[in-house]
Structure 1
């Protein structure tokens, strides 16, 4: 007999929880964005926030849902802590409203709610009608579950084992608080636990003192889930609100628990019905708690901020390091700052280029995402450098400083283009390779790695040319451009030879292989662009860099340069 009663009891509680879930999900789907807007507008002061918390939670039927929503707002810095704590005080009152409504005998309404909900859900042409139908069905399930709980407990009066078990469990008020808090944490719903307590109190399975102690435990347990699920250890701001709410609840429970016997006697005289007594105490506790703490929230917020201070802000990787605004009126110094910042940007591009090949070869998705984030850094640094140099050019510059300003902007633009090629092209190829689980042949991977390494080495040469304007290094960089073109053709021919041999890896990665070679060559063209201003300033370029025999090829050659002066012995 006892095991059957407990099984029916658990089934009734499960149905009650499912009904609450349907009400909550239906309301969120129908009015979720509007509820967020209401909360956002009401956060101007604590009293409006208190009322907003009551209204939103009365609709959602879950202070946990409201707590998680407010915690996400707090974590993003969208709200101040005082109005957020006020919302939670209101949310605790909001959960009592459905309990008050269900404390009356309205089980006869359940069939009507089922019928209306089913018609709206199945035949409602609009999404809103379907969502409200879900809400109606959920309310009907809650009423039905309460009816099942009462019908289950009624015959259990003749089961001494069940009554003895409940009497043992609820024999001490402190134990009642802990049991109800644990049940509320597990069920994610204080309303469900309070409704269960009401059923037990109505059937006189628990004493009035035990019933009120269980209600206190349900209130305490409702503050645990937002703390465990909403707070992030990496963001102290996200933990202040749930901890503050837990402090409010714990302080209220600690204050009321020693006086639980006289309070139970008072409520029993006001209404001998056990279910109504539990519901009335649940509401009275939360209303008094809100009125007591709403004026103390400033001190609590200050305490929480001291206990959980904001961590020191990490340096923004996209923030310029060397662009000194105070040097704007000293063009030579300012241009040196801009050149140094451009090298900083070049360091980021070099890391991108190195990691791009690692991502291609190792099929590392996280590395692909990291390279894409680094491209955003490059874009912001490029904008900052161009804006800074533009400010410098508003000053009176001599010809040399004016030329240097243009060189800095040109090199920054080329570095930004390299970042775009890496992000938009090479990383797209890497994602495709990862998605299809392609693998380069051993020879193909070696060729790509060698080609990539030569480009890395030439990027370092480009940095040297940019800073020192060394003509000899600039000439070697342009000569390397021709040699790299020859290497690209050789690697492409080797790849085609493997295709003729019907190598499976080469067949499935053919387009990837050739596209990587093409994109690396495009990157190298942008790298070599830094050499031309230095060569032109030294008079090392023909007026037209294209020879007559090369017109139409679109390719620069090393012979476009004037002969080198003889070395001094």
Structure 2
């Protein structure tokens, strides 16, 4: 019973010391860890060295992996940079084994650990929440970690090989040892703890060096579970990073298991011939370091195809939208096909821009009574804006590629018009992003439950006096919504003849805007509303009007390019963006296409 208590107590002290050590270093480092990761991960070699050094400091590859996933999730690290930080953290985890081997088995633990605990706790208690307290927690954790090792040594020292399940050196016995290492790491949530158990067991003669090495291999696989859990519901890059971590550890484990016998023979030879030390504890630590280094060497040529493979997995709608759907550089050499591709990509870009505009409008008083904006509404708008801007860049690059070859004059004349349309959609997106952010920050304190959503301010259709500003401006936002729906290049809100309704919707918006503006100015001058609030709303409505104008220009210019063939559709396919080609503007609105240039 005492032996079990010693073993459990030793594991508990080790894990407690590891936790205090890691948390203390994080507190003592402050924001330095973020700065280090941002500055020292520019290349794969820097990322690898950073992973090794930081893991050696925090003494936990699991914590380093979870931190890297968190930084990727927050956008502080790119996927490729974080990948090599994680690979380096695996190699850095071997430092724990060297500390245990060089200190834990060669010094009197009590005399070594107790001063660290005493000094550390004094610093921690006198500086709680400060860097001094973090340093104290680190020192105390360091001492507790080695006290745990001492208890583990006592526990295993009271056992004999006969007390443990027999595991031979055959394939079944070695696989059982791998499974034990995997399960121990999953339970303890720390591969360093499993490594320490294996070191103390082999030092006490409980298991052979081969069995201990197999346990360490299993521990390397088990440490991936924490990263997998951390990546659940995370960003695609975070999930890719967790998958890369699993791939690295599994491939490294398979190679190390396949080469286990020759590796151990080589390590024994090197230890005896060059170091003069055949100690199995030292050999096990060398093995742990060696097979992680072998994994890094294996990943060096494999990382590029691995990144390429993972980039195609865990896709989100936003990432899929970032990629041009129709632009292909192989098509750029055929001007007629290139114009078709550009026309379709512009329609898709316009659809996304007008989706953003619709979402931004709905964050404003387009519906009464007003509700609290949905969570992360600003983040969603920012992502959609980034998609539109990225597509504009891709369209510009494609046009540049086309312009490098001889072009017919008709084709050359269309290219500036295509770029102008992309600029209109981009400007619309930027303006509406600003309008949406303002709407998301509005204070919803006005009680509008008793007001019908179809009421209008005096002086605009409906003629019913308004009691507050949101109710007064709501018709303008409703008119804008109607325009954005009509102007969408991929919208079904078209007449039976396939003609655009954008001009009619834009005219209706303009009428509503002018009537509302006049009413606001009269109400402000008459003291019905605060003049400063009137100015704020007029500025927002002016931005909304600018966005409508940009959308109107883009839709009319796009309609004028109806000589391009429509996109073929497949009945069985339901694409996220349905491409339609607008007909010529209605002859009843001859001024619809007579817009000013940029």
TM-score interval for Structure 1 and Structure 2 normalised by the shorter chain: 0.5 to 0.7
* Structure 1 gap ranges (5+): 158-162, 271-275, 393-400, 497-509, 534-569
Q: Which of the numbers 425, 438, 442 marks the counterpart of 2:438?
A: 425
Change (3 A) 1:236 1:475: closer
Q: SS of the counterpart of 1:365? A: coil
TM-fit CA distance, 1:19 = 0.7
User: Residue in 2 aligned with 1:239?
Assistant: 243
Contact 1:111 / 1:140 at 8 angstroms: preserved in 2? yes
Equivalent-residue separation in structure 1 for 2:367 and 2:163 (angstroms): 65
Q: SS of the counterpart of 2:106? A: coil
Contact 2:120 / 2:138 at 8 angstroms: preserved in 1? yes
**Structure number with larger C-alpha Rg:** 1
User: Residue in 2 aligned with 1:546?
Assistant: none
User: Residue in 1 aligned with 2:107?
Assistant: 105
Change (3 A) 1:239 1:114: same
Change (3 A) 1:490 1:345: farther
Contact 1:110 / 1:143 at 8 angstroms: preserved in 2? yes
TM-fit CA distance, 1:14 = 1.1
- Which digits, 9 at most, give the CA deviation of each residue in 1:91-122, with x for residues without a partner? 25323211212122331122221233234445
Contact 2:198 / 2:212 at 8 angstroms: preserved in 1? yes
Q: Which of the numbers 221, 233, 253 marks the counterpart of 1:223?
A: 221
User: Residue in 1 aligned with 2:146?
Assistant: 143
TM-fit CA distance, 1:153 = 6.3
Equivalent-residue separation in structure 2 for 1:471 and 1:126 (angstroms): 63
TM-fit CA distance, 1:15 = 1.4
User: Residue in 1 aligned with 2:409?
Assistant: none
Change (3 A) 1:456 1:515: farther
Q: Aligned pair 1:188/2:189, yes or no?
A: yes
Equivalent-residue separation in structure 1 for 2:349 and 2:42 (angstroms): 45
User: Residue in 2 aligned with 1:14?
Assistant: 12
* Structure 2 gap ranges (5+): 273-277, 404-413, 456-470, 489-493, 554-598
User: Residue in 2 aligned with 1:281?
Assistant: 283
Q: Aligned pair 1:370/2:380, yes or no?
A: yes
Contact 1:52 / 1:87 at 8 angstroms: preserved in 2? yes
- The number of aligned residues is 476
TM-fit CA distance, 1:369 = 4.0
Q: SS of the counterpart of 1:44? A: helix
TM-fit CA distance, 1:11 = 2.7
Q: Give the 5 Å matches for 1:42-441.
A: 43-44=44-45, 49=48, 55-68=53-66, 76-79=78-81, 87=88, 90-100=91-101, 101-107=103-109, 108-122=111-125, 129-150=132-153, 157=158, 167=162, 169-173=164-168, 174=173, 175-200=176-201, 207-209=206-208, 213-226=211-224, 228-229=226-227, 234=236, 236=240, 238-256=242-260, 277=279, 279-289=281-291, 296-298=298-300, 300-301=302-303, 304=306, 310-311=312-313, 314-316=319-321, 347-348=354-355, 350-353=357-360, 355-356=362-363, 357=366, 360-361=370-371, 363-367=373-377, 369-374=379-384, 415=428, 419-420=432-433, 422-429=435-442, 432-433=443-444, 440-441=448-449
Change (3 A) 1:193 1:245: closer
Contact 2:13 / 2:148 at 8 angstroms: preserved in 1? yes
TM-fit CA distance, 1:18 = 1.0
Change (3 A) 1:296 1:27: same
Q: Aligned pair 1:453/2:466, yes or no?
A: no
TM-fit CA distance, 1:419 = 0.9
Equivalent-residue separation in structure 2 for 1:189 and 1:361 (angstroms): 47
TM-fit CA distance, 1:279 = 2.4
Equivalent-residue separation in structure 1 for 2:197 and 2:449 (angstroms): 67
My pick for the range that moved more, 297-306 or 130-139, is 297-306
Contact 1:345 / 1:378 at 8 angstroms: preserved in 2? yes
- Which digits, 9 at most, give the CA deviation of each residue in 1:388-427, with x for residues without a partner? 99xx9xxxxxxxx9xx99x989977984675155323222
Q: Give the 5 Å matches for 1:534-545.
A: none
Instruction: Provide the TM-score with structure 2 as the length reference.
Output: 0.58
Equivalent-residue separation in structure 2 for 1:24 and 1:59 (angstroms): 8
Q: SS of the counterpart of 1:364? A: coil
Contact 2:54 / 2:64 at 8 angstroms: preserved in 1? yes
